[in-house]
Structure 1
């Protein structure tokens, strides 16, 4: 039994279906790349290579929220953005380093940066 090959289906613009899907896929990839670049531009340079998952893990491991709640009461979020103390990404990283030193947490510099990057993402939102 001999079968004949069917021509590819066309979309409403007359393009073959597979060509239309390829164009959509490439457009989505391009849009995703542009979104990623725009999101990266909003992150301070000091935090661009930070490992956010590591920062979240360290915040849980060292019980930062519990310590902050003990210091300021409530859920501890009042400790963020103290009047005039932390107003740049660099100062935020410095405050995390101060906690690291004062509490002898023994975090490496890249771990301090990861924690500060998570705090920036969740509370401070400093931009370059």
Structure 2
């Protein structure tokens, strides 16, 4: 194996980045994860879920529950936004959905 030069490290990093993005659901491809995380905190989503579901609210995140696709996840975030009159923009809904996927659901597109 050749020594790890800066060129090799760059190629390795680029290859890893493209592999990771290939697995990311297309629906969340350009989503802003930090924005999603911030909006989840600002809108107190975890606290609301903790009041409605068992334990600390994480019981809602079931890998094989009724939310079993990225589109259904985004639809549920849209529903919460509507029911709670959060007036979120579409890109904010996508950001929240992507952050939830990243933290809990782990949906991936086929490579």
TM-score (norm 2): 0.91
- Alignment match, 1:26: 7
Note the C-alpha offset of 1:42.
1.2
When Rg is computed on C-alpha atoms for both structures, the one with the higher figure is 1
Displacement, 1:83? 5.7
Alignment of 1:31-50 (within 5 A): 31-50=12-31
Alpha-carbon contact 2:63-2:105 (below 8 Å) kept: no
- Measured after TM superposition, the shift of residue 82 of structure 1 is 7.5
The structure, 1 or 2, with the larger RCO (C-alpha pairs under 8 Å, 6+ apart) is 2
Correspondence list, 1:8-87, <5 A: 24-81=5-62, 84-87=65-68
Task: Note the residue ranges of structure 2 that are not aligned, 5 or more in a row.
Answer: none
Moved over 4 A (4+): none
Q: CA RMSD in A?
A: 1.5
Q: How many residues matched?
A: 107
Instruction: Find the counterpart in structure 2 of residue 94 from structure 1.
Output: 75
- Cα distance in 2, alignment partners of residues 28 and 83 from structure 1: 38
Q: For the Cα contact (< 8 Å) 2:28–2:95, is it kept in 1? A: yes
**2:85 equivalent to 1:110:** no
SS in 1 for 2:5: helix
